[in-house]
């Protein structure tokens, strides 16, 4: 008796392939907008890099000729605190403190060490922010101190603005703390600063003790828009 012969299985028919749909070309205006946007962003980036280079490079003919437009573009948002070929490290340490009071000094807070607040934020922080490292120090060195003399009299038209800038930075740090010291944030009327400057010891004598100098910025109103006519009860600043 012969064995049955197995017939091969019928092949599975492949599904019919669909022809690719023709892609609709983008309208001309879409390509034009994209091209203009790419060109504009590229030109803006090149302009910004060029201005940044001129700001950080040594003084030259180009940076001198275009000093005004360069300053308008860079300051204050893109200011750089370094030089391309000539680094200028700090040679002094600054400790900036402030205290605030109510009107007529009926309540006065203790001194707040604003610099120490920044140091505490930077300590053990692998990615410290620019504000903690430079904002307060630059507001004093390149802002207030550069626009006022030793008697705290403005020496340029920017003096009042830089003073208010320093006050605003201090208030931002003080307001969350002043209530527990008897001065509510909405009752702050006056502010006083105490800046201690210490020279960094020379490299050849790193352990040499440097005598610090203390500068007091007398009590001022926290707002430039407020005009004081004195205290009716005869109170004076502490």
Digit-by-digit pLDDT tens for the chain (238 residues) are: 555 566 666 666 666 666 667 667 778 788 889 999 999 999 999 999 999 888 878 788 888 888 888 888 887 777 766 656 655 667 788 899 999 999 888 899 999 999 999 999 888 888 888 788 889 988 999 899 999 998 999 998 889 999 999 999 999 999 999 999 999 999 999 999 999 999 888 777 778 778 899 999 999 888 766 555 567 666 778 8
* Assessment of whether the complete model's pTM goes beyond 0.85: no
- d(CA 189, CA 235) in angstroms, rounded, equals 14
- d(CA 183, CA 179) in angstroms, rounded, equals 5
What pLDDT does residue 9 have?
Answer: 62
What pLDDT does residue 171 have?
Answer: 95
What pLDDT does residue 84 have?
Answer: 60
Specify the DSSP class assigned to residue 203: T
A 10 A CB-CB count for 39 gives 10
What pLDDT does residue 53 have?
Answer: 87
What pLDDT does residue 3 have?
Answer: 59
Nearest partner of 181 among 87, 90, 109, 80, judged by Cα: 109
Point out which residues pair with 94 in neighbouring strands. 197
Nearest partner of 235 among 109, 107, 111, judged by Cα: 107
Burial of 166 (0-12, 13-18, 19+ CB in 10 A): buried
Give backbone dihedrals phi and psi of 123, rounded to 5 degrees, phi first: -55, 130
């Amino acid at each position: 008796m012969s064995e049955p012969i197995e017939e091969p299985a019928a092949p599975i028919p492949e599904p019919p392939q669909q022809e690719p749909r023709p892609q609709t070309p983008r309208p001309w205006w879409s390509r034009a907008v994209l091209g203009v946007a790419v060109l504009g962003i590229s030109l803006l980036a090149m302009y910004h890099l060029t201005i940044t280079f001129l700001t950080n490079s040594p003084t030259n003919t180009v940076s001198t000729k275009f000093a005004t437009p360069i300053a308008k573009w860079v300051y204050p948002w893109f200011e750089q605190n370094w030089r391309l070929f000539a680094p200028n490290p700090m040679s002094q340490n600054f400790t900036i403190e402030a205290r605030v009071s109510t009107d007529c000094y009926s309540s006065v807070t203790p001194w707040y060490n604003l610099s120490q607040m920044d140091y505490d934020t930077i300590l053990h922080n692998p990615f410290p922010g620019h504000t903690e490292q430079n904002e307060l120090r630059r507001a004093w060195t390149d802002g207030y101190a550069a626009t006022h003399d030793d008697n705290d009299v403005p020496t340029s038209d920017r003096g009042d603005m830089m003073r208010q800038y320093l006050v605003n930075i201090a208030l931002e740090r003080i307001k969350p703390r002043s209530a527990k010291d008897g001065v509510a944030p909405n009752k702050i009327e006056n502010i006083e600063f105490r800046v201690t400057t210490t020279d960094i010891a020379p490299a050849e004598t790193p352990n040499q003790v440097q005598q610090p100098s203390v500068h007091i910025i007398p009590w001022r109103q926290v707002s430039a828009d407020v005009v004081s006519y004195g205290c009716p009860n005869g109170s004076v600043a502490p």
